[in-house]
Amino acid sequence: MRTRHLSRRSFLAMTAAAASVFAVGACGSSAPAAPTSAPAAPAAATPTAAPTAAAPTPTPVALATPAPQAAAPTVAASGTTIRQFKEAPMLADLVKQGKLPPVEKRLPDPEDILVVKPLNEIGQYGGTWNQAFTGPADFHAFDRNTYEAMLRWPADLRNPIEPNLAKKWEWSDDNKTLTLYLRKGLKWSDGEPFTVDDILFWWNDIELDKNLTPAPHAEYVVNGKPMEVEKVDDYTVRLHYAGPNGLALRMLAFHGGQWPTAFEKFGFYAPKHYLQQFHPKYNPKSDYKTFAAKADDLNPDRPVLWPWRITEWKPNENKLIAERNPYYWKVDPEGNQYPYIDRIYMHLVANSEVINLMAANGQLDFQFRNIDVSKYSVFSEKAKAGNFHILKWPAADGSELAFFPNQTIDDPDLRSAFRDVRFRQALSLAINRDQLNQVAYLGLGTPRAATVLPQSPYYSEGIDQLYATYDPKKAEQLLDEMGLKKNADGIRTFPNGKPVQFLIESSITAGTGLDALQLVVKNWQAIGLKVDLKTMDRSLYWPRAIGNQVQMATWGIDRGLEPMVDPIYQIPFDNRSWFAPQWGVWYNTGGQQGEKPEGPAAQVQQLYDQFKSTVDSAKQIEIGKQICKIAAENVFAIGTVGMVPSIVIVKNNFMNVPETAVTDWIMFSPDNLNPFQFYFKQS
């Protein structure tokens, strides 16, 4: 599927037309606009000296270096002296009708309530947050606003990891046992208690069930042995490892949420009271397909711990609606139960071009996902009429667009070429990154290799410029050395006479990314390679890429500050390491499946095992730097332009949004900014 890219003039024309005829939705149905007024905020209680979680403070535009998270004993302040709690008017009405318990009965035990200070000011209740997404494969557009893990990344990565569902944690003296203490009185969105049983159900009946999880995730495996999970009581759980686990805390902030978190299938807990009835182990009349459907993040019937719970979603409709969770467990310092905003309305649209049209017309309240940097001037021209403003947030992206020559592809000729580091070096040297930066990214990015940022503790001087200069003559020299000579038509051939031909596949179908793709194709064709490009919907692309079916995959290199919690670009980690999916499967399954790696790929896997087995921060940094350097030197992935800012569209009455903040997948941005404290300001 190919999508035509719009010029700036065409885009402006379409936004003008869309303002009068496009009623925000893929099928043209009407939908709620951002409110001009909302229910009045509750009367303010007398402020009390309650312990508060760290406020989402703005991070300097120059990306901050994250503090390595050492596995040290940590006890977090919890509890509150607040004695009067308040709630949104829509919930207060349900309490009056007898349909909900009073707010104090819905919150955790007083000593375990998490008090979070809003960024700028106490908010006001009410309103509908309008966003847009492109379908189920774009699910993270929603769950990045709602993710709740055992532990939590701080808004400023220089600070330590924070408590969340777990109020505190302790390590044993030998760093082999981690004890987590859950908040007492936590409840699912249907009012049922959240306990250690929900963790045990995930571990025993999901993570260890090969019908659902082929092998336990790497963060739960130490020295080749999966962890053991011990229930101490309903609110205390111990994780026993076969050795020190230097990744545990970071992974509980990243992968420690509700299973399955869309197509990536990771988590740390699941609602046993709801899902057990659909599990074939407990219900012989059920099957795993049914279980997966009921466990799916988009199932409105599935209970959650999120600030907003999905209430309306059907695959054939053009919207996803999520309303406030009446049992959400965080409050502000005045005792107001979060979230402030009543509901999220996700408009399902055809592609990212439509999202940008809606943003330019002022039809979205807060959005940076799928916002195209090349439309910046258009947004600037439309901002006043659309009643919004624009923010430029630094992104922790090593490369906005990266290419992954598949070293485990079935084709023997391509496999041989892709495994030759000279071929990968030649591809990298042939890219005109300066041109790509100007044409596709308005000169806002930095031409660079596919590696971590200079602000990362795992960065080594110069690795971001390895084979990143434009040198097509050197590229051709390397290909000649490999014996890939040009024929009479100027096309390079393998020694057997077959043309050196490969297909790039991508889920990028429009906008800046498509411009960049087409420029790189031309660069590679110019050195005698026969290169084709095929773009498709993400739901079609993803299974092919993780299934080792794609010759040359594309994606962005995020994780630029903290790559080691999910090092899919640095080592063959699992089937998402598209430079060698089968090597990743081998590592992920402990050698039971996939293909055993060779050379530098095997070396970085061994180094990562060492990284995981130490809780010494200095040692981890030393090992991590080695891994990143080897990955860059061997061009596992081919970068183009990185550090391109995220363009954020914010309606002028949408409040408690920081002026600057680092965006990254690892932090589930904007979840690390506490979206539950966003609110609509009434005049």
Chain segment 485-496, per-residue pLDDT in tens: 999 999 999 999
Condensed to tens digits (0 to 9), the pLDDT of residues 386-420 reads 999 999 998 899 999 999 999 999 999 999 999 99
Give φ, ψ of 322 to 5 degrees: -125, 135
Which alpha helices (DSSP H) does 22-129 contain, by range? 89-96, 103-106
The pLDDT, as a whole number, for residue 66 is 46
State mean pLDDT over 46-64. 36
Q: Which pairs with CB-CB distance under 8 Å and at least 24 residues apart come from 298-304?
A: 298/136, 298/139, 301/274, 302/271, 302/274, 302/275, 303/188, 303/189, 303/190, 303/192, 303/271, 303/273, 303/274, 304/146, 304/188, 304/189, 304/258, 304/271
Please give the model's pTM, rounded to 2 decimal places: 0.79
Condensed to tens digits (0 to 9), the pLDDT of residues 168-200 reads 999 999 999 999 999 999 999 999 999 999 999
Cis peptide before 670 (omega within 30 of 0): yes
Of 170, 162, 178, nearest to 114 by C-alpha is 162
The pLDDT, as a whole number, for residue 79 is 57
Q: What percent of the chain has pLDDT over 70?
A: 88
Residue 508 predicted with pLDDT over 50: yes
Q: What is the mean pLDDT of the chain?
A: 89
Q: What percent of the chain has pLDDT over 90?
A: 76
Q: How crowded is the C-beta side of 664, counted as CA atoms within 13 Å? A: 32
Residue predicted with more confidence, 102 or 75: 102
State mean pLDDT over 357-383. 96
Tokens 């660069």 belong to which residue? 523
Which residues are within 8 A (CB) of 468 and not within 5 positions of it... i.e. 6 or more apart?
428, 433, 447, 448, 449, 639
Distance between CA atoms of residues 58 and 321, nearest Å: 29
